[in-house]
């Protein structure tokens, strides 16, 4: 007799790869497999499956509609100036996670290993927490971290979990109940390329420059608060990466290499999955020009938005408010500069062309396509980075 095996997602856009099904399976029958573009999807080992269907029930992406709505919103900048420099925006995640760790709790988030594979880990100390710091524009694997988190919660340890909204939703569905000692933080997410594509881009860069990459930063504030990055080689030479001049950064920013479900993401609106939502406060110069300038917020160092979506989130921010320069705002103002608080990234048919080219011929072919089509736009990011912050502020204010 044929054994009945659950169909986990059907179409690709029905799965976000949050990992809840992997973690819930009592027989460890589910693992994540890469498709031809490197995107992760759950696969069931039919020899181990007992057809309990827990994997189907736990899928928040298909089964759960979020009802949280924003309660309070702030403009925020960490007072820890050293850590602010290393953060992508206003240093909110690191500052909150550090506060939890200092009270003998722990923080879970995405970290690169020495091969630039991205996965969720748990940090118990400042050294490990630094690995979680900074934006990472590629999808992380949650592995079995949800199981670890449940153990910590049941041991009465405070846990701060940070991830894309779908990962927060996956954790909540896996846990099946609210824990007073869990604080969830969802990121304002543009969408995620595959980690394989990112690592293949790095290998291409290494070969092109004849170097070995030691450190990669998606957001390098030495170039200004924005979307430019950098690479440091093993011999400590620094390469500046401008969003308009690098194929990976450009195709990511223009939503051309994202996971299929990101274009219909159910979490890209005001119904957030976390107790707290964090991201950049883009458009601050238009909404709050009075906060910028001499002896005020220095936007070149990065500025965050904090959105509290639950009473727990409000209480947690109030408890740690002395760690930030906080200014009251509104969800509506924050959403003006953050598209993914209103809608998912727009789908473009060029996505299929680029990903098929990548799957067939590798990142070198993708980079060649980029350079062939980008033209003089390639130098826009370089020129923009040379404009002083006060001049940029004035220009943006009147756009």
Together in a domain, 151 and 295: yes
Together in a domain, 247 and 361: yes
Together in a domain, 119 and 79: yes
**What pLDDT score was predicted for residue 377?**
84
| Reported confidence tier of residue 393, pLDDT bands at 50, 70, 90 | low
**For the ranges 255-259, 285-289, 374-378, which has the lowest average pLDDT?**
374-378
119, part of any domain? yes
Together in a domain, 155 and 199: no
Together in a domain, 90 and 186: yes
| Reported confidence tier of residue 395, pLDDT bands at 50, 70, 90 | low
67, part of any domain? no
Structural domain of 56: 12-62
pTM over 0.85: yes
How many residues make up the chain in this entry?
A: 399
Together in a domain, 187 and 277: yes
Q: What is the mean pLDDT of residues 35-49?
A: 97
Together in a domain, 208 and 336: no
CA angle 200, 206, 211 (to 5 degrees): 155
**What pLDDT score was predicted for residue 32?**
98
Does residue 387 surpass a pLDDT of 90? no
| Reported confidence tier of residue 337, pLDDT bands at 50, 70, 90 | very high
282, part of any domain? yes
Together in a domain, 234 and 281: no
1, part of any domain? no
Together in a domain, 160 and 82: yes
Are residues 132 and 121 in contact, defined by beta-carbon separation less than 8 angstroms?
A: yes
Are residues 131 and 121 in contact, defined by beta-carbon separation less than 8 angstroms?
A: yes
311, part of any domain? yes
CATH number of the domain at 56, please: 3.30.70.20
pLDDT tens by residue, 53-107: 999 999 999 999 999 999 999 999 999 988 898 888 999 999 999 999 999 999 9
Of 300, 316, 341, the residue that ends a domain is 341
Does residue 326 surpass a pLDDT of 80? yes
6, part of any domain? no
pLDDT tens by residue, 198-234: 999 999 999 999 999 999 999 998 887 888 999 999 9
Together in a domain, 178 and 48: no
7, part of any domain? no
pLDDT tens by residue, 186-198: 999 999 999 999 9
215, part of any domain? yes
Together in a domain, 243 and 277: no
Give the chain's domain count.
Answer: 3
Together in a domain, 29 and 165: no
């Amino acid at each position: 007799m044929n054994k009945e095996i659950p169909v986990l997602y059907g179409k690709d856009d029905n799965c976000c790869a949050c990992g809840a099904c992997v973690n819930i399976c009592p027989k460890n029958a589910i693992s994540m497999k890469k498709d031809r573009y490197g995107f992760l999807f759950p696969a069931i080992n039919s020899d181990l499956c007992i057809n309990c269907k827990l994997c189907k029930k736990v899928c928040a992406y298909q089964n759960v509609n979020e009802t949280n709505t924003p309660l309070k919103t702030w403009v925020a900048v960490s007072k820890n100036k050293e850590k602010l420099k290393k953060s992508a925006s206003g240093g909110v995640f690191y500052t909150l996670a550090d506060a939890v760790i200092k009270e003998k709790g722990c923080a879970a988030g995405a970290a690169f290993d020495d091969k630039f594979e991205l996965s969720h880990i748990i940090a118990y100390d400042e050294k490990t927490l630094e690995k979680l710091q900074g934006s990472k524009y590629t999808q992380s694997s949650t592995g079995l971290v949800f199981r670890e988190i449940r153990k910590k919660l049941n041991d009465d340890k405070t846990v701060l979990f940070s991830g894309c909204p779908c990962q927060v939703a996956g954790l909540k569905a896996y846990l099946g109940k609210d824990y007073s000692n869990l604080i969830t933080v969802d990121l304002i997410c543009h969408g995620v390329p595959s980690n394989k594509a990112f690592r293949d881009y790095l290998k291409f860069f290494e070969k092109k420059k004849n170097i070995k990459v030691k450190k990669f930063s998606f957001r390098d504030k030495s170039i200004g608060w924005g979307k430019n990055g950098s690479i440091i080689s093993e011999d400590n030479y620094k390469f500046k990466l401008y969003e308009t001049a690098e194929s990976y950064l450009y195709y990511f920013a223009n939503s051309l290499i994202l996971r299929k479900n990101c274009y219909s993401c159910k979490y890209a609106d005001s119904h957030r999955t976390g107790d707290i939502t964090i991201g950049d406060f883009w458009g601050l110069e238009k909404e709050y020009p009075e906060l910028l300038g001499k002896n005020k917020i220095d936007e070149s160092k990065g500025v965050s938005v904090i959105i509290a979506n639950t009473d727990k989130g409000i209480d947690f921010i109030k408890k740690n408010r002395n760690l930030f320069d906080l200014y009251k705002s509104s969800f509506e103002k924050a959403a003006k500069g953050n598209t993914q608080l209103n809608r998912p990234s727009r789908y473009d048919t060029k996505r299929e062309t680029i990903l098929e080219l990548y799957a067939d011929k590798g990142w070198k072919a993708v980079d060649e396509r980029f350079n062939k089509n980008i033209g003089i736009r390639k130098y826009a990011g370089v020129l923009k980075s040379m404009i002083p912050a006060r001049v940029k502020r004035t220009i943006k204010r009147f756009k």
